[in-house]
Structure 1
Amino acid sequence: MRRIVLLSAMFICGLLTAAEAAPASIAGSWAGSGTFAYRGSVDRVYCRARFTKTSAKSFAVSSACRTANSRYDISGNVTDTGGGRYRGTVMSGNVRGRVTLFYGGKHMSVNVSSQRGSAQMTLARN
């Protein structure tokens, strides 16, 4: 009987540790880098983003991104479409773009496109 209790306790602790290691939500702070293509040139971009849960499947996003020559404040919303994928829209000034996120626990891949340019980056939890 003791073995069963001990094994059960070890199993539960393992589940709790796994749950802490890979949060089931994109909520929180993220940072990372990638590329930004605009007017025929490609620049390195660095971003810090914060995702705040607004409903069961939706999140508000606010981020600050910078290249060697510019800074961009970006805000918007994304919705969980299943399978670790999120889609939504973002705004920077008067430029509107579409965003797709692929979430994998501690990292996410981000693709943004608009009429003026596009960006691809990888973010990690802060």
Structure 2
Amino acid sequence: MPTIKSSYLGNLRTQSVHLQSGTELLTDAPVDNNGKGEKFSPTDLVSSALGSCMVTIMGIVAERNGVSLEGLSWEVTKVMQASPRKIQEIVVDFHWDNPVEDGAMIQKLKNAALTCPVALSLDPAIKQTVNFDF
């Protein structure tokens, strides 16, 4: 059974619906590639998926160990290559206001992030730079 159903809406915009939840997502081509840039671009979503996946897997490890990730935030920077046009690098900067003080747990969380399914699925040619500010 399909996971997502998508359609082209014209003007370089797409619509995707997550079939299980009904959640809708729109994308636009970015301004620097003939689009409106009013929504996430497909490459923005790939970049965002990396950070979200890392935190999801960190969350699983944290819950399993009775640790709260409250105060954890992150920023993602996407670096595009001009020719051929593709993602060259994704930078994920994590910040945690009140990290746990257990060094072994911090290392477990970092390892979890770096081995999330999206990180392992991306082409090795895409540089993944991950900074943990905790």
TM surpasses 0.5: no
Question: If each structure's helix is expressed as a fraction of its own residues, which one has the higher value?
Answer: 2
With normalisation by structure 1, the TM-score equals 0.31
Question: If each structure's strand is expressed as a fraction of its own residues, which one has the higher value?
Answer: 1
